Every structure is written in structure tokens, then in C-alpha cells.
Amino acid sequence: MQSALILTLFRLTAFSKSAALARGAVSRLFLRYPCFLAMTAVSVSLNLVGFNGRQHPYVEYWHAMQWPGAIVNTAAAIEAFWILAGHFRGIRNFGWWLIAIILAVSGTAAAGIALIHVNWNSPLHVPLLADQYLALSMMMTLLASRAFFRQFPQFPIRPNALRHLTVLTAVFATNFIGLSIGLISAGQWRWATSFAINVGANLAYIGWAFFMTPEGEQLSFDPPPPMSPEDFDHAEMRHKRSVERIKQAGSRGWRRLLGC
């Protein structure tokens, strides 16, 4: 009964990821979220290889996709950060060191899971531990990014950017929960691991396919009227001063976030 349920969920996950890819293609959102959709494509290929429920060649393919999967997952998280940061003009240099700090803090915090020792002599132990570490690091990166930029509510953010961040956070969070169950139980609760990961993936990718729309890429206000050259010069000067204030406020916000 459990095996039939997990296999059904596994197949449904392939369809929900395919629906997200189709949404990205039809609505041309792939131009905005290429790394996320590349992550989805790599992930759905894994589902398709294991569609028949047999371990061979699924396990071999899963091992082969460890590094490509880690690369596209990390790229998708960084992409989500920059989609948020892109709403704050003129902070590119500030954004680079901010994401570097967030990644470093998230990676260091996630490294604490290495302190949990599980007596499980299996060739799957190390790869699953690496996946767990990556999922936690990316989840914390996205949560820290959202917490930081929420400190500036006066700047409007596109609805799709927040929806996308929520979906991606949910994917990494449920991956971490499922992998943690499998590792802590030394592989004894594999059905629970698969259940958590696939339920989370189904909800997340179906949500992405349903809620991500071209209209969600629009900001919540009308574009300003054309400016005269003099007005443009004055606006540019005000913009430069605003950038400096954003950087200063960002530094204060980051210190508050870290409790410094």
C-alpha cells in the first residue's frame, strides 16, 4: 500500500513539474526564471527515469545528477535573490556582498547538521547528507533574503517575485525535512522521506504553474509620465542620494537581522 502511494505521488510530481515547465514556456516566464526552470528540468528528468518504480537505472542516474543538480539548485536560489534585489535600483555592488554574506551564514549554520552522527553504513548516506546540507543552505538563504528585503516596505515588489520565492523555499524546506527523516532513521523510513519530498514538490510546482502569470510581473503602480531633460537631471541626482540611503539602511538592516 505504501509503495503504491509513493509511486503514485512520484508520478504526480513529474506531472506537476512538467506543468511548471509548460507555464514557463507558454507565458515566456522562462526568460525571467531560467535557473529555476533549469532546476525543474533536471528534477523532472529524474522523475521520468524512475517512472516505472524500479531502482535500475534510477539509482545510477540519481548519482550521475548529484553535481548538476547541486549547481542548478544553487543557481536557482541566487537567481531568486537577484530577482528580489532587482527591485532596488543601484545596489548591484551592495547586492553582491550581501548575497555572499547570506550564503556564508546559511552554509555555516547548515553545517551544524554534520554534528548529527547516524550509524548508517550505506553508499547512499554521503550523497543524501550532501543533498540535505544543500537543501538547508538554500532554504536559509531564501529566508534570510526575504527577511532582509522585507525591512523596506516602501519599495514595491512584483507579485511573481514573492510567489516564486515562496515556492522555491517550500521546495527546499520539504526536501530538507524528507531527507532528515531518511537520514535520522538510517533509511528505515524511506516511505516517509519520499512522501514528504513528493507532497511538498507537488504543492509547490502546481502552485508555481497556477499562480505565476505574466500579469504578476507588473508592479502595482502606473509608470511615470515622460520627463523633461531638466526634470531627468534632478531625478537622477535624487536617485543617487536614494541609493546611498538604501545602502546605509541596508547595512543597518543586515546588522539588525544578525543581532549585531
Model confidence pLDDT, tens digit, residues 130-149? 898 899 889 988 988 888 88
For residues 76 and 39, is the Cβ–Cβ distance under 8 A? Answer: yes
pTM tops 0.75: yes
For residues 65 and 42, is the Cβ–Cβ distance under 8 A? Answer: yes
Q: Grid coordinates standing for 182?
A: 531518511
Which span out of 99-103, 140-144, 220-224, 236-240 was modeled with the highest average pLDDT? 140-144
13 Cα distance to chain centroid: 17
At residue 97, the pLDDT reads 74
Question: Which of the two residues, 172 and 2, has the higher pLDDT score?
Answer: 172
Task: With a cut of 50, say whether residue 224 has pLDDT above it.
Answer: no
SS (H, E, C) the chain: CHHHHHHHHHHHHHHHHHHHHHHHHHCCHHHCCHHHHHHHHHHHHHHHHCCCCCHHHHHHHHHHCHHHHHHHHHHHHHHHHHHHHCCCCCCHHHHHHHHHHHHHHHHHHHHHHHHCCCCCCCCCHHHHHHHHHHHHHHHHHHHHHHHHHCCCCCCCCCHHHHHHHHHHHHHHHHHHHHHHHHHHCCCCCHHHHHHHHHHHHHHHHHHHHHHCCHHHHCCCCCCCCCCCHHHHHHHHHHHHHHHHHHHHHHHHHHHHHHCC
At residue 228, the pLDDT reads 54
For residues 230 and 200, is the Cβ–Cβ distance under 8 A? Answer: no
Q: Grid coordinates standing for 55?
A: 531502482
Cβ neighbours for 160, distance < 8 A, ≥ 6 positions apart: 29, 32, 212, 213, 216, 217
Comparing 83-92, 182-191, 198-207, 231-240, which segment has the lowest mean pLDDT? 231-240
Model confidence pLDDT, tens digit, residues 55-103? 778 888 988 999 999 999 999 999 999 998 887 766 666 677 778 877 8
Task: With a cut of 50, say whether residue 223 has pLDDT above it.
Answer: no
Q: Which amino acid is located at 76 in the chain?
A: A
